[in-house]
Structure 1
Amino acid sequence: MNNVHYTFQLDNHLKQAFFQAAKESNRSSAELLRELMREFVQKQAATPKKVSLAEKLGGYHPAAEVNFEFEREMDEFRAAEFD
């Protein structure tokens, strides 16, 4: 496993509260951050991905094509309403 150093900014109050929470749980702040990151990644992987209309249509499409496809679907919907 390659180790990477990650630097970010946070306000001092949050930092102190986080360090205190880590200390109270008998874990280092680094250990707790890694755990939180793993949990977040697992949660994201388990959450179904929302697919945009452009992705459903196979990727990038000019606005005219998207509008045409939308109108076609709306026409089908309107026709189904009166069946």
Structure 2
Amino acid sequence: MKTGIHPVSRPVVFRDRAAGFELLTHSTADTHDTVVREDGVTYPVVDVDISSASHPFYTGTSRVLDTEGRVERFERRYGRTAGVRR
């Protein structure tokens, strides 16, 4: 590997404020904020909007869309197109 062309990988905390979830991992993400963890060490922190702790798919709170009802509502509103059969 060439020296001086690769970004520095260091421990970084990714924090999901909505869920109160923190993940310590290695990253090259540049940040100016820091956080002190339970172990007493100060780490750079990246605040994220959504993570596996708050994403509806992973938490099981996702909704199933009624696609057939949507099609029926569309057809009632705008009518069927001539020549198109289901």
Name the TM-score, length of structure 2 as normaliser.
Answer: 0.28
Structure with greater strand percent: 2
Task: Select the structure that is richer in helix.
Answer: 1
